Homo-oligomer: A and B are copies of this chain.
Amino acid sequence: MLRIGLIGAGRIGKVHAETIAHSIADAQLVAVADYYRDVAQAVAQQYGIPVVTDNPLEVIQHADVDAVLIASSTDTHARFIIDAAVAGKDIFCEKPIAADLGKIDETLTAVDNARVKLQIGFNRRFDASFRRIKQAIEDGSIGEPQLLHIISRDPSPPPIDYVKVSGGLFFDMTIHDFDMARFLFGDVEEIYATGTNLVDPAIGNAGDIDTALTTLKFASGALGSIDNSRQAVYGYDQRVEAFGSKGSAANTNLYPDEVTISSGTRVERASLPLNFFLERYMPSYRGELEAFTAAVLHGESIPVTGQDGRVPVVMAMAAQRSLKENRPVRLSEVE
């Protein structure tokens, strides 16, 4: 049984608490910390967690805690990872590690030195459809990978206050797609990013784009495209097409039911696609924690490493520079 201490009991922290409490047979929550102690208290009460605190170090250093799950605000990730590594605890941390490569490298060094395990929360790798596409690539069903398309559109833009501090579309949204690209087709060498402000002028006024089309050149020689929009009015649009010398593997969106209604005016799906990430990706949150638990308990390798957390940040930096300078940018330029 893996005894986990949770740091951060906000939206995503609660998702993880719920998942561990109800769906991970081999893990249990033994401590929870939140900047707001009453928030921690509420989660503790709901899931029967004995240790409650507003001091993350108390969780990290608690003797009953085998591993730490970091779901606090982004700017605290690196610090808590280092603290946990020093304390000899294995770590599951939400992405990104940090927005600064120097800080990321310092963090990863601490993890390496402490010889603890670190898994980054790129949950989409555990989505059933994307895993199935990955499998089709790995088992040779599509032959040599040649072209990759990622469609990744949110149902509606985040609040402008969030846009102002998120680091921009490439850092808070495309970063998942950069990881997906690497997961499926391997490392990228060069990025050409276009972006524009079509959804909401307020986003442009805040200095960000809301619509982007990004071209990837993979080290393998394959090519890729990422399509992002802050607003697909029909719902969360999350699709991948992997094309190769022997065929393709592609997914469609998920729906709350599989009903079609036909009438004198139309033939339509009875419902819109699952609306957002908590609906669409809920099983993948379980999947990543199952994998983390198994890796720690049974000494297996971590499926999403610190390096996997670092590279998408580099890719976002390259995309950002490409957009600014309107030219292809090699990842080596931003290292």
Q: Would you call A198 an interface residue if the criterion is a C-beta within 8 Å of the partner chain's C-beta atoms?
A: yes
Q: Of residues 221 to 255 in A, which have CB atoms within 8 Å of B's CB atoms?
A: 221-225, 227, 229, 231-234, 243, 245-254
Q: Would you call A178 an interface residue if the criterion is a C-beta within 8 Å of the partner chain's C-beta atoms?
A: no
Please encode chain A, from 163 to 202, with 1 for each CB lying within 8 Å of some chain B CB and 0 for all others: 0000000000000000000000000000010101011000
Cα-based distance from A259 to B127 in the complex (angstroms)? 11
Cα-based distance from A234 to B248 in the complex (angstroms)? 9
Of chain B, the residue at the smallest CB distance from A197 is: B221
Q: Which residues of B contact A273 (CB under 8 A)?
A: 267
Q: Which residues of B contact A259 (CB under 8 A)?
A: 129, 132-133, 136, 249-251
Of the stretches A74-82, A92-100, A210-218, A289-297, the one at the interface is A210-218
Q: Which residues of B contact A243 (CB under 8 A)?
A: 153, 227, 229, 232
Contact check, A234 vs B256: say whether CB atoms are below 8 A apart.
no
Cα-based distance from A271 to B269 in the complex (angstroms)? 13
Of chain B, the residue at the smallest CB distance from A228 is: B147
> How far is the CB of A62 from the nearest CB of chain B, in Å?
23
Q: Per DSSP, are chain A's interface residues mostly helix, strand or loop, or mixed?
A: mixed
Of B149, B223, B234, B245, which is within 8 A of A267 by CB? B234
Of chain B, the residue at the smallest CB distance from A144 is: B198
Q: Of residues 82 to 116 in A, which have CB atoms within 8 Å of B's CB atoms?
A: none
Q: Of residues 128 to 152 in A, which have CB atoms within 8 Å of B's CB atoms?
A: 128-129, 131-133, 136, 141-144, 146-147, 149
Q: Which residues of B contact A233 (CB under 8 A)?
A: 143, 245-247, 263-264
Of B136, B213, B261, which is within 8 A of A136 by CB? B261
Q: Which residues of B contact A144 (CB under 8 A)?
A: 198
> How far is the CB of A84 from the nearest CB of chain B, in Å?
28
Of chain B, the residue at the smallest CB distance from A25 is: B46
A residues sitting closer than 8 Å to B (CB atoms) are 21-23, 128-129, 131-133, 136, 141-144, 146-147, 149, 153, 192, 194, 196, 198-199, 211-213, 215, 217, 221-225, 227, 229, 231-234, 243, 245-254, 256-273, 326-328
6 contacts between A and B (CB under 8 A): A199-B245, A232-B248, A246-B263, A250-B259, A253-B258, A327-B327
